[in-house]
Structure 1
């Protein structure tokens, strides 16, 4: 079963030593405006058709704009045996110190 990390606790949770991958499921345009530092942009629509492409033994934290797509993706990867986490509420509510921008 995957765990949901409430957006208000994300900074503290990351600082406790999370060493997994951060995966932003939003569009490249949304990602370019702002995203979690060190996050990889793998859009939901692409991942939906390519679920087997994420490999490795590191945990996965998924997030999207509002939290619904990341919930779905967490279910997929949880059933495949991955250690997965969901950012509860989505990125739109995040205002912590790990925000980065490509602009």
Structure 2
């Protein structure tokens, strides 16, 4: 199975040296308002229609607004053989230092 990180522990977890990709599953407008530093935006619906947009050469950390879409994405990509990490509860509860706004 894959790892799930509570959003409240994300800063500490990232500081331990995560070296994969960070995937933001929210809409482009939500991503532009704020996102985790280094995150790439792949809206959930688009990614579910075209999972080949992501390769499996690196681990993938998924997050969304509330936690449900990241869980579904992790289930799909894990079954396809990807190394994935789920961020539980979603970005709406995040108050850490890795948040950026544009």
* TM superposition score category, shorter chain reference: over 0.9
Deviation for aligned residue 1:57 = 1.7
Deviation for aligned residue 1:35 = 0.4
| Count of residues in correspondence between the two structures | 102
Deviation by residue 1:31-57 (Cα, 9 ceiling, x = unmatched): 011100000000001101001221142
Which whole-Å CA distance do the structure 2 matches of 1:64 and 1:56 have between them?
20
Moved over 3 A (4+): none
TM-score, normalised with respect to structure 1? 0.96
Cα RMSD, aligned residues only? 0.7
Q: Secondary structure at the match of 2:29?
A: helix
Alignment gaps of 5+ in structure 1: none
Q: Aligned residue for 2:21?
A: 21
Q: Aligned residue for 1:69?
A: 69
TM-score, normalised with respect to structure 2? 0.97
